[in-house]
Amino acid sequence: MPPKRRKFSRPLGERRYRKIFVLAVEGSKTEPQYFAIFNDQNSVIRVSCLKSKHDSAPPQVLARMEKHLKNEGLKKSDEAWLVVDKDQWTDEQLSQLHQWSQQADNYGFALSNPKFEFWLLLHFEDGGGVSSSQICSQKLERHLPGYDKGINVRRISDTMIADAIRRARQRDNPPCDDWPRTTGTTVYKLVESILESHRNQ
């Protein structure tokens, strides 16, 4: 007679609320792969990426977020962030996203100039000499051979994330009010908030 399977039950009320970070991102692959690092079964937070394969212009990223919030809502303890690249987008387009982020304390706007890969590069080096998207990609491939819009998350350690935050903050000095006009990234503010939520719960 086979042994009875044990039933695992959790007492009602024991499970704590998991803080949710809702991110509207440009990419359909790189950003979701990266932010999945912060999700695990025991995590006190959950990072959810709203992505699209084609609609990556800033107004479309904002529209995805607004549609999600209209349908799903957002608790005061949760956070909603727009994560975009500078690329060729105009100040007028980016200003719409920044203005949206000012509407509530739990809204955020994280921009990488020239692109998200610069934030990844800061996990390995200080990012000096990056003057274009192409140079940024070339430098990143030295650290992640074969990188092609995808990340082996096992290559990213907690120490490297802390280094990236430190390097990004050093570049963002004095801190910009909206987004980096030169090479830099404010993704560190989002990652700091995620890590702080881990520590506080």
| Separation of alpha carbons 75 and 90, rounded Å | 32
| Separation of alpha carbons 122 and 186, rounded Å | 12
Q: Determine, yes or no, domain membership for 4.
A: no
- What pLDDT digit, counting tens, does each position of 18-71 carry? 899 999 998 888 899 999 999 876 666 788 888 777 777 899 999 999 999 999
pLDDT at 15 over 60: no
Residue 77 parent element (H or E): none
Q: Determine, yes or no, domain membership for 114.
A: yes
Q: Determine, yes or no, domain membership for 10.
A: no
- pTM for the model stands at 0.87
- What pLDDT digit, counting tens, does each position of 145-193 carry? 878 767 877 889 999 999 999 999 999 999 999 999 999 999 999 999 9
Residue 18 has a pLDDT of 80
Residues 179-196: b if buried by 16+ CB within 10 A, e if exposed: bbeebbbbbbbbbebbbe
**Domain span at residue 153?**
19-200
Q: Determine, yes or no, domain membership for 132.
A: yes
- Domains identified in the chain, total number: 1
Average pLDDT over residues 101-120: 97
- What pLDDT digit, counting tens, does each position of 52-65 carry? 777 778 999 999 99
DSSP 37: G
Q: Determine, yes or no, domain membership for 13.
A: no
Q: Determine, yes or no, domain membership for 8.
A: no
DSSP 173: -
Q: Determine, yes or no, domain membership for 14.
A: no
